Amino acid sequence: MSSEPISLDQALASFDTLWSPRIVTRVNDYDVRIAKVKGEHIWHVHEDTDEFFLVIDGELRIGLREDGRERSVTLSAGSAFTVPRGTEHKPYSADGASIMMFELTGTLTVGDRHDEIPDHVDSTTGHALER
């Protein structure tokens, strides 16, 4: 963890891989991750932890399956949303977005239960940010 300020613009410029988050820093037991996204992720669930999303640039939609029904939330730049633990969800972005996520350290990007993982989705607990 760095004791110096972190430029999110520089951090985002340091990688191109989509759906492959980088760990910017840690806050207590949580990773602060950034990612570039475009297209669809997968339907998945984090059974024991919430997942916080903040859109830095672009637009992110998150499909949610709750109480036997499906809905979607749309997040533009500067918008935040928390997916409650145990909620099946699927992030996607038609035109691409840069996002920040707060996730319990060790949380897999594909959750505890998920659809088949396509090649464009990185199943990881986050990658170290190159500095």
Q: Assess contact for 59 and 74: CB atoms under 8 A.
A: yes
Q: Which residues pair with 53 in a beta bridge?
A: 81, 101
Domain 8-112: homologous superfamily in CATH? Jelly Rolls (2.60.120.10)
- What backbone phi and psi angles, to 5 degrees, belong to 35? -155, 155
Instruction: Please name every residue paired with 89 in a beta bridge, in sequence order, or none if there are none.
Output: 44, 64
| pLDDT for res 77 | 98
Distance CA 106, CA 49 (A): 11
pLDDT at 17: 95
Q: Residue 103: what pLDDT?
A: 93
CA dist 100 and 102 (Å) reads 7
Q: What is the pLDDT along the chain (131 residues), one digit of tens a residue?
A: 668 899 999 999 999 999 999 999 999 999 999 999 999 999 999 999 999 999 999 999 999 999 999 999 999 999 999 999 999 999 999 999 999 999 999 999 988 888 788 888 989 899 988 76
Helix (H, G, I), strand (E, B) or coil at 38: strand
